[in-house]
Structure 1
């Protein structure tokens, strides 16, 4: 189970004034993905991008991190998307590790219109702060008892921190095409979380394995695949609701 956190909302989208292709490029250029899983840096690994920059000097002196250095340490996709992903398992335990993360997030918020944070399911000094300040939160879980227990615990924690003042989207990942083929039905999930309208992402091992092995996005493998349609529908609904 992972938590994806959309921390900036784009209410005044420029897409109505420019063509579709230009709109996509502009939106990608104004979007940043921050991978806070320093144990494995999976966001970068899935795209076969690895940050070779030595963070040792910056983590000890996070005030050195500025706009120019942010351009040096970033990873980029051909679409224009910017990614910050670092494999440094010891970072959460370093004396100024949290200061580095908060400095990174401050600069990202300054530079980009839309920020997506991949927050791993482990407690860190910045975990609660990210949950407190996010505009949109997505809790992704799988249909097994262990993942559901973790998802329910996190959902309860966020509600205690934020009440009903934040939008939380619950996402059942890797569900089979027909709900009766899963161990839990949609109605059972709604009872577990005490929340309606739980979303789902279809299980498509072939699509995801192909994307992973080619280091491209699933939408670049087959944009018409059910998995991609599920994602598009889910995010479109959240964006439309945010703009109302």
Structure 2
């Protein structure tokens, strides 16, 4: 008989525990454990080790509750956690996702709703891919720096190195434009209204229906924009989307918007690599440096965010504009590399709706992105 998955609820509210127990009692594959001391009392290590998913009820206005939650997440060693909370600020919500909370439910929450949230997390936990996706995010330092072009090029380079089915997904989260779809001449099919406010209706089958496939094999996950309409999404819906995408693909490339959203921090924290894209101008270098310093100082990333200087032009003579030494000095310690300026190639590729390699194989933009993406592997090969 298969072992039951155990939900551990951390709450001093007896009525909440009873409600969840009532919902669970008919389930043959779920067990329930209750830590009645609440978030203030340390959870027993043995009970924590048995749990498959955690549910914690907290007061988001109390600093001791927030610190206790952070400790619980750390001790949970990657176990998915659902937080039950009253209305909280965007800043607190961002912090929840930053520390690793996987779902938020507003109090009072019915036992059936809590159980459904736990089942969604368990579905992802119990049926993961052999290797969870490597996530690479591209964040523009300013508008018009070529972030989408480089995100697409990165996805194509990764696809070239890993040409398997469901190898690479490109996720366009710049919700006020569907540039990725336009650049690749594809139809954006993602419908956030269909997947639900918290992404609760999204599963692998629905994701497949909302994914557009390029002839190269690249999968595009993008929503159509509506002129003159601003769209703001719940952080839970965006992070749920990325969870499902990351479970279905080996590599995920994310095109982020310039505007910071409540869910941006959570995406950066969950990314394996973060590239800040800028251009070869003094303001552009300053913007990128500032963003890199703030992101690296404020968030605990898997790897420090670094900067890609797009439209780089090599200049040898003083007085002819910025030179490579100026770029290296301005971005000392955070420079990932440069991408050559090749406006004509980019414009032709966009007009044709094809990747850069289709217009000119081995072009300088593609080679520059390849060097940046695979620099670590190249260094390891040389060292061995």
TM-score over 0.5 for the alignment? Answer: yes
Q: 2: distance between equivalents of 1:131 and 1:227? A: 25
Alpha-carbon deviation of 1:227?
A: 1.9
Hey, what does 1:91 align to over in structure 2?
231
Q: 2:342 aligns with which of 182, 199, 204?
A: 204
Q: 1: distance between equivalents of 2:163 and 2:320? A: 38
Hey, what does 1:74 align to over in structure 2?
211
Q: 1:25 aligns with which of 148, 163, 166?
A: 163
Greater Rg over alpha carbons, structure? 2
Alpha-carbon deviation of 1:164?
A: 8.2
CA contact (8 A) 1:139 1:168 kept: yes
What runs of 5+ residues in structure 1 fail to find an aligned partner?
Answer: 7-20
Q: 2:274 aligns with which of 132, 137, 142?
A: 137
Q: Are 2:361 and 1:223 aligned?
A: yes
Count the aligned residue pairs.
225
Hey, what does 2:245 align to over in structure 1?
108
Moved more, 80-89 or 116-125: 80-89
Alpha-carbon deviation of 1:69?
A: 0.3
Give the TM-score taking structure 2 as reference length.
0.52
More helix by proportion, 1 or 2?
A: 1
Hey, what does 1:44 align to over in structure 2?
181
What runs of 5+ residues in structure 2 fail to find an aligned partner?
Answer: 1-138, 142-146, 152-159
Q: 1:2 aligns with which of 140, 155, 161?
A: 140
Q: 2: distance between equivalents of 1:192 and 1:155? A: 12
Distance change (3 Å), C-alpha of 1:57 and 1:227: closer
Higher relative contact order (CA 8 A, sep 6+): 1
C-alpha RMSD over aligned residues = 2.9
Hey, what does 1:186 align to over in structure 2?
324
Distance change (3 Å), C-alpha of 1:183 and 1:111: same
